[in-house]
Amino acid sequence: MELLDFARGPALTIAFAIFAIGVAWRLSSLLFTPRPHRRAEAREGTPSDAKAFVRGVFSRFIPHKTYRDVVFANHLNAYVFHIGLFIVVFLYRPHILFIEGFTGLSWPALPNTLVYGVGLVTVVSLGVALARRMTNPVQKILTTFDDYFSWALTVLPVLTGLLVVNGIGARYETLLALHILSVCALLIWLPFGKLMHTFLFVLSRGVTSVRLSRRGATF
Amino acid sequence: MTEPQTVGEMLARKGISRRALLRYAAWVTSIMALPSSMTRAMAQGIADTKRMSVIWLSCQECTACTESLTRSYSPTIDDLIFDFISLDYHEALQAAAGHQAEEARLKAMEDNKDNYVVIVDGSIPLGNMGYSTVAGHANADVLRETAEHALAVVAVGSCATWGGLPKADPNPTGAVSVSQIVRNTPIINISGCPPIPEAMTGTLAHVLAFGQIPELDHLGRPRAFFGNSIHDRCYRRPFYDKGLFAKSFDDEGARKGWCLYELGCKGPVTYNACATLKWNGGASWPVQTGHGCLGCSEPDFWDRGSFYKPLPASTEPLATPLAAGAVAGVAAGALASRAAKTRREILGAMSKPKDAADTTDKT
Amino acid sequence: MSLAPDKETTDGFIQAILAELATRLAELASTGIEAQIDLRSLPMDPPKRAALDAKLGKGDVTATIADRAGRTEVFETRYAGVWRLAHYDMHDTLLMEEIAIAPVPDILRADPTDMAEAAARLGAELALDTKKGHAND
Ligand code: HEM
Ligand code: HEM
Ligand code: SF4
């Protein structure tokens, strides 16, 4: 039980702190960066910045028709594991109870067995993403250590979670401790690698959209 | 007639036939999940041995363990164990007192050197030896002395196995478990507050019949009784899997017998046989009465937050590191971009015309 | 008792137990090796248990063992060498049930130690009676 006590106590506390510091630091240092002077005139019919920003954030949820056929399978797969992650993290009763424990917030959950199924699909889907990354020549060139590491830290909590509830490999409390420690690793890494896209996708999409809109691109 | 030499002879003399012993062995084999084919060997083993000399030491305890084992209000099948053992020393049950009792203990140790079993209930105070003594001797000293030439020490109850309630934060008596005192004698831990009587008697019967300690888990507990978690064997488990949870002790879910996870059940991290053996001869058990498992057979269960807090709800106030971290992060970010701005202004002042073109591109 | 297979006996779990019984019984017949099946540790709901009992039925022999420590009900099923045993404690609470595959279940046999003790007791009683008889002369 000692490892579990460590995971539940100091490990989670430290991981939460680093996660919060990291995310807040990266976001605030971007937001506090002064806007550049705009020396060129915007084109005729340029939307307001706010409008362009919001459009950019949302329009990218669907691939542009130019690429649709090429990336369709990839894109679909990315949706599968992202939605899977969301369901597993936020619609599973033990997780909601965990969040309720420090926020006081609670909401309905899905049946546990359904969540296990979604977890399995998520693992498979993440596996497909990795396989593609390792076999597609172009993607392979673009891949860095960060991509592999981020992938591993994403899949580990789901894998260990599935081990916990199925009692595979060790006792429940040992597996649970590993599950929590894998979550801690994910939380600590998230702000500093590519997983920061969780937050940065808003800024990068929005800002790109504002900039290109001024040059006449439509989103 | 001569004194009976073996348990079998003694039982025959008392008019308890071998058939009763076989019935008992069939039952113990079953609850210990041994192959049924071992029934005969177990009955034979018990019949052929001498009665086992048992010395029972009580330290800082509440006598619930003894109460659970003897269940004096209602004799049951496992009371037969008292026919198999010779309880040579037990502070609560023996008639002798003071020096007479002490002599009985020393004599039993002498006569049965390396063959007697020591049962301990209660934790051992190390803070001040005076906290718990028997006939003027500190618990720790008596235990050390008695355990040295024992076949095995059976720590009975969560106090003897982990330190128990006396060890709860802030542990005023400096209480420790048997395993922290006894070094060179095998220890069997039968945890629980109190432990399930069948787990105690079954283990003793196993030692008696086979002269061997049953298979133990990593905490020194017999796997037969502590191999599965409460959650693994809980009859409410289908509701857990379906996500049907009682939200309060008297809501519709509670009445329908739904899972007690949200009401603080510690079944998933608790290893004991309550769900299969139940209590009071199979009458009922905590979860069946509608109350979540407290986790009483696990180390330090009383120091792991409220009994009524759901298991995943952290014992740490996790909102604090989140909020403090966010504030610290924003402050760090603000300072960093301020520093960057200053640097850029200085750089800008140094190379004015070239820089202007750069910044427009860097949106 | 109907011999036609009903819904319960075609259930996979019951089928598995019956298959096991058949194997063990054949083994007993050819080699004399006895076996037991512990019904207590097999998860069976009441309808399944009833179905199993209905299938096994009752044969020629029924016996009750009652002693100071409890009671055991034994009967042979419709299949020779397959016995059903139910053990109770002194409060008549059911401890466990089992199936024994044996010519005679162990628990019915008299034990050598018990027999030796009985012989000694009988001898002593006889001696006492003889003495009493002489005294009456
Ligand atoms: C199918 C996938 C998953 C399953 C089956 C699963 C299962 C579980 C279970 C059973 C608990 C335990 C609660 C307890 O008894 O205390 C738990 C706790 C937790 N899980 Fe997961 N999990 C999964 C994925 C994830 C993921 C992807 C994350 C985060 C990225 C995560 C984060 C956590 C956290 C933070 C806890 C709370 C720790 C605590 O109990 O104190 N889990 N999970
Ligand atoms: C709302 C938040 C998020 C958005 C909008 C988002 C969006 C994206 C997008 C657009 C991609 C590229 C997919 C592609 O190749 O087509 C991606 C990849 C990825 N995301 Fe997210 N993401 C979010 C949150 C997260 C979180 C919380 C995690 C993990 C903890 C995560 C893990 C990943 C991983 C591992 C990849 C790379 C998959 C690969 O190897 O190809 N994402 N995300
Ligand atoms: S009541 Fe407790 S032990 Fe039973 S299923 Fe629910 S959580 Fe598990």
The domain limits of chain B are 51-224, 230-319
Query: Comparing C-alpha atoms, which of B115, B120, A219, B78 is closest to residue C69?
Result: B78
- The pLDDT, as a whole number, for residue C2 is 45
Range of the domain at A142: 2-19+47-214
* Segment B177-194, tens digit of pLDDT: 999 999 999 999 999 999
Q: How far is B76 from chain A (nearest CA, A)?
A: 34
Q: Does A27 map to a domain?
A: no
Inter-chain contact A16–B312, Cβ cutoff 8 Å? no
Inter-chain contact B76–C40, Cβ cutoff 8 Å? no
Q: Specify the higher pLDDT residue, A129 or B80.
A: A129
Question: Do B160 and B123 form a contact (C-beta atoms < 8 A)?
Answer: yes
Confidence of residue B273 (pLDDT cuts 50, 70, 90): very high
- The pLDDT, as a whole number, for residue C123 is 92
Ligand 2 contact via A160 beta carbon (within 6 Å): no
* Segment B285-311, tens digit of pLDDT: 999 999 999 999 999 998 888 899 999
Ligand 3 contact via B57 beta carbon (within 6 Å): no
Nearest-CB residue to B23 (from C37, C38, C72): C72
Q: Does A26 map to a domain?
A: no
Let me know if chains B and C touch, i.e. at least 3 Cβ pairs under 8 angstroms: yes
Give yes or no for C35 touching B (CB within 8 A). Answer: yes
Q: How far is B310 from chain A (nearest CA, A)?
A: 7
Digits of tens for pLDDT over chain C (137 positions)?
444 445 555 678 889 999 999 999 999 999 999 999 999 888 788 888 889 999 999 999 999 999 888 899 999 999 999 999 999 988 888 889 999 999 999 999 998 888 888 899 899 999 887 877 766 55
- Written as one string, the DSSP assignment of C77-103 is -SSTTEEEEEEE-TT--EEEEEEEESS
H-helix or E-strand spanning residue B138: strand B137-138
pLDDT above 70: residue A148: yes
Residue closest via CA to ligand 3's atom 7 equals: B261
* Segment B95-130, tens digit of pLDDT: 666 778 888 889 999 999 999 999 999 999 998 777
Residue A138's φ and ψ, nearest 5 degrees, are -65, -50
Looking from the CA of residue A74, the nearest atom of ligand 2 is 16
For range B45-64, the mean pLDDT: 89
Query: Comparing C-alpha atoms, which of B154, B169, B106 is closest to residue B303?
Result: B169
Give yes or no for B242 touching A (CB within 8 A). Answer: yes
Q: Which ligand is nearest to the CA of A172?
A: 1
Q: Does A145 map to a domain?
A: yes
Nearest-CB residue to C98 (from B9, B17, B26): B26
- The pLDDT, as a whole number, for residue B96 is 66
- The pLDDT, as a whole number, for residue B235 is 94
For range B185-207, the mean pLDDT: 93
Residue closest via CA to ligand 1's atom 39 equals: B312
Confidence of residue A1 (pLDDT cuts 50, 70, 90): low
Cβ neighbors of B281 (< 8 A, separation 6 or more) are: B74, B76, C89, C91, C93
- The pLDDT, as a whole number, for residue A65 is 76
Give chain A's domain count. Answer: 1
Domain range summary for chain C, segments of one domain joined by +: 7-104, 108-137
User: Residue A104: CA atoms inside 13 Å, Cβ hemisphere, count?
Assistant: 1
Ligand 2 contact via A174 beta carbon (within 6 Å): no
For range A29-38, the mean pLDDT: 78
pLDDT above 50: residue B361: no
What is the distance between the alpha carbons of residues B316 and B314, in angstroms, rounded to a whole number? 5
Ligand 2 contact via A194 beta carbon (within 6 Å): no
For range B50-65, the mean pLDDT: 88
Report the percentage of chain A scoring pLDDT > 70: 99
Q: What is the CATH number of domain B230-319?
A: 4.10.480.10
Looking from the CA of residue B259, the nearest atom of ligand 3 is 6
- The pLDDT, as a whole number, for residue A197 is 95
Nearest-CB residue to A101 (from B312, B337, B362): B312
Q: Which ligand is nearest to the CA of A74?
A: 2
Nearest-CB residue to A102 (from B268, B319, B340): B319
Query: Comparing C-alpha atoms, which of B64, B63, B77 is closest to residue B31?
Result: B77
User: Residue B276: CA atoms inside 13 Å, Cβ hemisphere, count?
Assistant: 24
pLDDT above 90: residue B260: yes
Q: Give residue B282's region: left, alpha or beta (phi > 0; psi -120 to 50).
A: left
Q: Does domain C7-104 have CATH number 3.40.190.10?
A: no
Q: Does A122 map to a domain?
A: yes
Which of the listed CATH numbers 2.30.40.10, 3.40.50.10490, 3.40.50.700, 3.50.50.60 matches domain B51-224?
3.40.50.700
Q: What mean pLDDT is reported for chain B?
A: 87
Q: Does A11 map to a domain?
A: yes
Query: Comparing C-alpha atoms, which of A21, A30, A64 is closest to residue A207?
Result: A30
- Ligand 1 pocket test: pick from A95, A174, A186 the residue with the most ligand atoms within 8 Å of its Cβ: A95
Q: Which ligand is nearest to the CA of B242?
A: 3
Which residue from B minimizes the CA distance to C99?
B36
pLDDT above 60: residue B74: no
* Segment A81-104, tens digit of pLDDT: 999 999 999 999 999 999 999 999
What is the distance between the alpha carbons of residues B259 and B238, in angstroms, rounded to a whole number? 8
Q: A174 C-alpha to center of ligand 1: Å?
A: 13
- Give the 3-state secondary structure percentages of chain C, helix then strand then coil, rounded to 5: 45, 25, 35
Looking from the CA of residue B260, the nearest atom of ligand 3 is 1
Give yes or no for B339 touching A (CB within 8 A). Answer: no
Give yes or no for B76 touching C (CB within 8 A). Answer: yes
- The pLDDT, as a whole number, for residue B268 is 93
Which residue from B minimizes the CA distance to A214?
B363
Residue closest via CA to ligand 2's atom 17 equals: A78
Q: For an interface test with B, which of C111, C115, C122, C125 has the most B Cβ atoms less than 10 Å from its Cβ?
A: C111
Read off the CATH number of the domain in which A92 is found: 1.20.950
pLDDT above 90: residue A70: no
- The pLDDT, as a whole number, for residue B357 is 46
Task: Say if residue B194 is preceded by a cis peptide, omega within 30 of 0.
Answer: yes
Q: Does A66 map to a domain?
A: yes
CA dihedral A58, A60, A64, A70 (to 10 degrees): -140
Q: Which residue has the tokens 């024992």?
A: B150
For range A150-170, the mean pLDDT: 94
Q: A124 C-alpha to center of ligand 3: Å?
A: 29
